[in-house]
Amino acid sequence: MNDYYADLGVSRDASAEEIKRAYRKMARKMHPDVNPDAEAADEFKRVSQAYDVLSDPQKRQSYDMGSDPYGAAGSAGFGAGFSFSDIMDAFFGGAGAGGGDPRRSRVQRGQDALLPLEIDLGTAVFGNNEDLTYDTAVLCNTCKGDGARPGTGKRTCDVCHGSGQVQQVQRSFLGQVMTTRPCAACRGFGETITDPCFECSGEGRVRDRRSITIKVPAGVDTGTRIQLAGEGEVGPGGGPAGDLYVEVHVRKHPTFQRQHDDLHCSVELPMTAAALGTSLPLETFDGEREVDIKAGTQPGDVITLRGLGVTHLRTGQRGDLMVHANVRTPTRLDPQQEELLHQLAKERGEEHPEARFQPLNQGLFGKLRDAFKQK
């Protein structure tokens, strides 16, 4: 007669959990997929046979009374009641490995959602509260997520008898192997809804339109995502809601362009204003500001207004407003204006100027490029 207790290394009064732990420990070492040695394969059959007997209360009782279900032949009937799911538990930590309930829960977390949000550049500078309306899954108010019509309930599945699983015996090279699968009748829940809620059809949630107000922080830019915890879809069975992610898109502004935390714009100046200097009003996001044009301003010169740019998303400090000078040369002169310019050129000795060529990065294009590289 085989000594199954010795094969598993447990005492004769070992509990069902101790027997399962001992089997899992030995099966991990000796399974053919892990240990290809022939002796290990024989040992795996032997301990699996021992577990098959000792894990079944009726077989264990018969064995303790002197009846060996496999007899002297040992492996002749190996696998007749052996559950393949126990091997899966041993290697992958299934429901049996942790002693958990194999039934699926109807209550599940909802999915996350991603929505776009368009904002003005001014909102990106200072931040603001924005209203957002979207369609999503919400808790069913009729059944409160239960899925059953009020006043009714659920009943134990007639196919799996509440276990959420069904077993099937299959033949393999090891003999007859019992596999375990989720019950198709109850989808693994272990129970069925006899009278589903007419509002949500048993889902515990319905589609509806929601409106919320979200805080858009100062400094966001196109592509920034704002996470709102618990504002996504409610899960099946009235489960907790997922998260809502709002992806920001900043609309183009007619005057200002953003580069990092700085704002850029250009001002067109007459040649005389650039030469003599002037002061011009500019409407900024902080109200009207005076832009001082120094005498002798050249095309591409940049006038910097400190602290009038975009608020940094993390530090809260603001960038600058960069005003690029675009000097306009007159093209249509009347005789008197033309004579005045000739007199000015004569006074400055510029009637027949010598051309001075410079590398491209020292001219207008270089100034524009260097201005955009600042900070």
Contact 143, 106 (CB under 8 A): no
Using CA of residue 293, residue 296, residue 299, residue 301, what is the dihedral sign? negative
Distance of CA 182 to the CA centre of its chain: 29
Q: How far apart are the first and last CA of the chain?
A: 86
**Predicted local confidence at residue 218, as pLDDT:** 94
**Assigned CATH topology for domain 113-147+199-250:** HSP40/DNAj peptide-binding domain (2.60.260)
**Predicted local confidence at residue 322, as pLDDT:** 94
User: Is 183 labeled as ligand-binding?
Assistant: yes
From CA 235, how far away is CA 135, in angstroms rounded? Answer: 14
Q: Which CATH number fits domain 257-373: 1.20.58.1030, 2.60.260.20, 2.40.37.10, 3.40.718.10?
A: 2.60.260.20
User: Is 265 labeled as ligand-binding?
Assistant: no
Q: Which two tokens stand for residue 134?
A: 């979207």
From CA 33, how far away is CA 78, in angstroms rounded? Answer: 19
**Predicted local confidence at residue 272, as pLDDT:** 86
Contact 244, 113 (CB under 8 A): yes
113-147+199-250 and 257-373 agree in CATH topology: yes
Strands (E), the chain: 113-119, 128-139, 154-156, 165-172, 175-182, 191-193, 205-216, 225-228, 244-250, 257-259, 262-270, 278-284, 287-293, 302-305, 321-328
Q: Which amino acid is at 213?
A: T
| CATH number listed for the domain at residues 4-98 | 1.10.287.110
Alpha helices in the chain (DSSP H): 4-8, 16-30, 38-54, 57-64, 84-92, 95-98, 121-126, 271-276, 335-347, 364-373
**Can you name the residues that pair with 22 across neighbouring β-strands?**
none
How many C-beta atoms lie closer than 10 Å to residue 271's C-beta?
Answer: 13
Contact 152, 146 (CB under 8 A): no
pLDDT in tens, the chain (375 residues): 678 888 888 888 888 888 888 888 887 777 665 666 767 777 878 888 888 888 888 788 777 777 776 664 444 344 444 444 455 444 444 444 444 567 788 888 999 999 999 999 999 999 999 999 999 999 999 999 999 999 888 889 888 888 888 877 666 655 666 778 888 888 888 898 888 999 998 899 999 999 999 999 999 999 999 999 999 999 999 899 999 999 999 999 999 999 999 999 999 998 888 888 899 999 999 999 999 999 988 998 999 999 999 999 888 899 999 999 999 888 888 888 888 888 887 877 777 777 677 675 544 445 555 555 544
From CA 99, how far away is CA 89, in angstroms rounded? Answer: 10
User: Is 200 labeled as ligand-binding?
Assistant: yes
**Predicted local confidence at residue 87, as pLDDT:** 52
Give the up-direction half-sphere exposure of residue 37: CA atoms within 13 A in the CB hemisphere. Answer: 7
From CA 63, how far away is CA 82, in angstroms rounded? Answer: 16
- Helix, strand, or coil (residue 67): coil
Give the start-to-end residue ranges of the domains of the chain.
Answer: 4-98, 113-147+199-250, 154-191, 257-373
Using CA of residue 64, residue 67, residue 68, residue 73, what is the dihedral sign? positive
**Predicted local confidence at residue 344, as pLDDT:** 82
Q: Which two tokens stand for residue 261?
A: 């935390």
From CA 161, how far away is CA 159, in angstroms rounded? Answer: 6
Q: In terms of DSSP bridges, do strands 278-284 and 262-270 run parallel, antiparallel, or are they unpaired?
A: unpaired
